[in-house]
Amino acid sequence: MNLGSQSEVAPIRALLLKHPRDAWKSQAEVDARYQKLNYIGRPDYAKALVEYDRFVSLLTAEDVDIHFPPADERTGLDSIYVHDPVIITQAGAILCNMGKQARSGEPAVVGVFLESIGIPILGAITGEGRLEGGDVVWLDNTTLAVGLGYRTNREGVRQLKELTAGLVEEFVVVPLPHWEGPDDVLHLMSMISPVDHNIAVVYSRLMPVTFRQWLLDRDMKLIEVPDDEYDSMACNILATEPSNCIMLKGNPRTRGQLEEAGIEVSEYEGNEISRKGAGGPTCLTRPLWRE
């Protein structure tokens, strides 16, 4: 199959998703595990199925080839957030090594599925290296920003540099803040979502000055998420193509800024599948091919 996703904004043509019926399996499974995974509330399984199908309908409207891996006992509730265990390059998939121990089984499971649909594995983060996909942002086809924090460490970054040699010309390491501590999820994509080649939605209060200035020096237009919409994941936005995006419903001020900038916005209800597990539309998706 066609392969390559060294962009956050080019048109999505193929996509990896995992349905909650395969990630969560049942309400009993959710009830047994959600607190240990630091979810902010108890997800309702039945409502989650409805929310998810409506979310998928936004993606199928874009004529996207969607691949759903099956249920697997080595993965848990968090496996619905397929963005994190793998990175896709023009040369193949890189399997991550999760900073969150409860998700350690996901990369291998995803790797087997990707090979079954014809996607080669370029390599994997191993040993003491830690890397999660939410910390990796393509700023263009050859420029990669990587967050350094509780989920991604220096050894993981070093291995990623080796694996992407020849694919990446500029590698930007972004130190992440402590914020709510190691048990909370804070990725680089918690503070930046590109929505066009020169436009990104950001939460600058969490962003290192040097990285923010670097973006401005590249003539990147920054759309600032207001404080009262950060916790509702206004900064977690999926660009399906340049100037066309999907975001979580309930962030009207950020949506207004996007539309003023000429960005077309679609929204979904994600109280169960996104808010309670702190995973927005980017987290729920892993583009396999952006044209």
pLDDT tens digits, one per residue of 8-19: 999 999 999 999
The yes-or-no verdict on residue 251 having pLDDT over 80 is yes
Q: Domain total for the chain?
A: 1
Split at pLDDT 50, 70, 90, the class of 6 is very high
Residue 274 maps to a domain: yes
Residue 127 maps to a domain: yes
Residue 91 maps to a domain: yes
Q: In the chain, what is the straight-line distance between the N-terminal and C-terminal CA atoms, in Å?
A: 12
**CATH number of the domain that residue 118 is part of:** 3.75.10.10
Residue 6 maps to a domain: no
At 36-63, the pLDDT tens digits run: 999 999 999 999 999 999 999 999 887 8
Residue 60 maps to a domain: yes
Block residue for tokens 């989920």: 151
Distance (Å, rounded) from C-alpha 158 to C-alpha 262?
38
Residue 20 maps to a domain: yes
- Encoding tokens for residue 6? 């060294």
Residue 7 maps to a domain: no
Residue 152 maps to a domain: yes
pLDDT at 180: 85
> Domain range for residue 140?
12-290
* Burial class of 192 by CB neighbour count within 10 A (0 to 12, 13 to 18, 19+): buried
pLDDT at 205: 96
